[in-house]
Amino acid sequence: MKSGIFSFSLIRNSVICRFYSTGKILFLALALSFISPSVVAQSLNTEHQHTSEIEGLLIQALNELQHQRIDEALQNMETLVRKKPRFKLAQLIYADLLQARTQGITDFGENSGVSKKIVTALREEARQRWQHHINAPEPGKIPGNLLYVNKKYKHIIVVDLKASRLYVFDSRSAYPRIVNDYYISSGKKGAIKQKEGDKKTPLGVYYVTEHIPDNKLPDFYGTGAYPINYPNDWDKRLGKTGYGIWLHGTPTDTYSRPPLASDGCVALSNPDFSALKPFIEVGKTPVVITNGIDWLDQNEWQEKQKTFLSLLKQWEQDWESLKTSRYLSHYSKSFKSGNKSYWSWAKHKIKVNKHKSFINVDLSDISVYRYPGAKDTVVINFRQQYKSSNFTQKATEKKQYWRKEKDGNWRIIYEGPA
């Protein structure tokens, strides 16, 4: 148990002393053992503005429990299970609350008849939902992965596997702004997918490739699915395998699943999946999957943004200068593009540029993402218009992966069509 969190025994002793005479035990704090002492002493903060009605009822009940208001908690849970009878976590808490009226309870779900494995998973779901409530990002904070966002993408999806949370950002304002967030379930074996069948969820920057409606899917996928383009070019370069990574709903007999319960996909409750639909444009919406978010304030975000926009601008200017050695200095010796290594790429560029008297490059629709799960790596997407003295190319979508190398300089390690 981490420092700053009540241990089971400490909660148990203090709670039993407080409630034994009345025959009540504050069992949830005792059993879940994730409530910080500083939080116990506080009243419920204003409900996080994006919390759904269903999650709001659960959070309110947990808050009532930690403040010893058992009857109020029971009322909230009764409302919750009436609204969502297939919400397994809610049913388990509700059953324990009813039992607490007549007898002492020393563990979460101890008399439910449910396996210990399932109870442990539901306990983790409660913990993740509660932690999001008390640690929700401050207004105006921006994920460090979103370094520069192209406003043609109306919304961006950011999935934080560590927090079991999916965030929707509006990218059309001065900075990416959270418009909604949802509890999610991910791969049984955790993060960083490596190979087919490993039951892990990939980390990376992906795009929604299609929408599959529920009438074309087994009930397991709920109200629909959004496949993403795993494995992308970077995954393939790293030798990662597998397929069929989707955002999807849940079976009709299940409201939500524990945090680690999928075979690698990102699963939402069916109501949350339906609520997500207006924010997704097939073929356009980026999906950034990370394992923990570094939340930046707007000044930090702008400073980091400048670094990478400056790198890209210098690359563009050095290409236009026709000084090929300067242009090639932006490429890593381990660079690859298609079947070209750095040396074949350099040889090709030297040969081509010899016969040109000018090059004009115009970049637009730029996006810059710090790549999840890859140390000191960013991916830059842009639209490129190229014109030279002897060749003109129609605007094309491109992407580059830049990596910080041992000498401290950022260089391009991969370049290709987006």
Q: Are residues 171 and 53 in the same domain?
A: no
The answer to whether residue 3 is domain-embedded is: no
Cα–Cα distance measured from residue 258 to residue 86, given in angstroms and rounded to the nearest whole number: 13
The answer to whether residue 75 is domain-embedded is: yes
Q: Are residues 91 and 109 in the same domain?
A: yes
List C-alpha distances in Å: 30 to 36, 135, 396: 12, 21, 59
Is-contact 246 216, C-beta < 8 A? no
Q: Are residues 410 and 313 in the same domain?
A: yes
Q: Which of 84, 118, 134 is the last residue of a domain?
A: 134
The answer to whether residue 77 is domain-embedded is: yes
Provide the residue range defining the domain that includes 314.
297-417
Q: Are residues 87 and 200 in the same domain?
A: no
Q: Are residues 149 and 284 in the same domain?
A: yes
Q: Are residues 68 and 24 in the same domain?
A: yes
User: Looking at 280-358, which runs of residues are DSSP E strands?
Assistant: 286-290, 295-296, 331-337, 340-341
Cα–Cα distance measured from residue 117 to residue 220, given in angstroms and rounded to the nearest whole number: 21
Q: For the chain, how far is it from start to end, CA to CA, in angstroms?
A: 44
Q: Are residues 62 and 169 in the same domain?
A: no
Q: Which of 134, 160, 189 is the last residue of a domain?
A: 134
Cα–Cα distance measured from residue 4 to residue 235, given in angstroms and rounded to the nearest whole number: 38
The answer to whether residue 104 is domain-embedded is: yes
Q: Whose CA is closest to 165, among 118, 212, 222, 125?
A: 125
Label residues 254-291 b or e (16+ Cβ within 10 Å = b): bbbbbbbbbbbbbbbbbbbbeebeebbeeeebbbbbbb
Q: Enumerate residues 6+ apart whose C-beta is below 8 A from 69.
A: none
Cα–Cα distance measured from residue 251 to residue 269, given in angstroms and rounded to the nearest whole number: 9
Say which DSSP state 166 is in: E
Label residues 119-128 b or e (16+ Cβ within 10 Å = b): bebbbbbbbb
The answer to whether residue 264 is domain-embedded is: yes
CATH of the domain at 157: 2.40.440.10
Q: What SS3 string covers 56-119?
A: HHHHHHHHHHHCCCHHHHHHHHHHHHHHCCCCHHHHHHHHHHHHHCCCCCCCCCCCCCCCHHHH
Cα–Cα distance measured from residue 259 to residue 44, given in angstroms and rounded to the nearest whole number: 24
Q: Are residues 382 and 290 in the same domain?
A: no
Tokens for 403? 């990596």
Tokens for 56? 């709001």
Is-contact 215 208, C-beta < 8 A? no
Q: Are residues 89 and 216 in the same domain?
A: no
Q: Are residues 284 and 215 in the same domain?
A: yes
Q: Which of 134, 150, 170 is the last residue of a domain?
A: 134
The answer to whether residue 219 is domain-embedded is: yes
Q: Are residues 370 and 238 in the same domain?
A: no
At 43 the pLDDT is 39
pLDDT < 70 regions, the chain: 1-51, 104-106, 110-112
CATH of the domain at 412: 3.10.450.50
Is-contact 357 391, C-beta < 8 A? no
Structurally, the chain folds into a number of domains equal to 3
Q: Whose CA is closest to 95, among 74, 124, 119?
A: 74
Q: Are residues 165 and 285 in the same domain?
A: yes
Which residues share a beta bridge with 156?
A: 169
Say which DSSP state 138 is in: P
Sign of CA dihedral 300, 301, 302, 305: positive
pTM beyond cutoff 0.85: yes
**53-110: per-residue pLDDT in tens?**
999 999 999 888 888 788 899 999 999 999 999 999 999 999 888 887 777 666 777 6
User: Looking at 252-326, which runs of residues are DSSP E strands?
Assistant: 260-262, 266-267, 286-290, 295-296
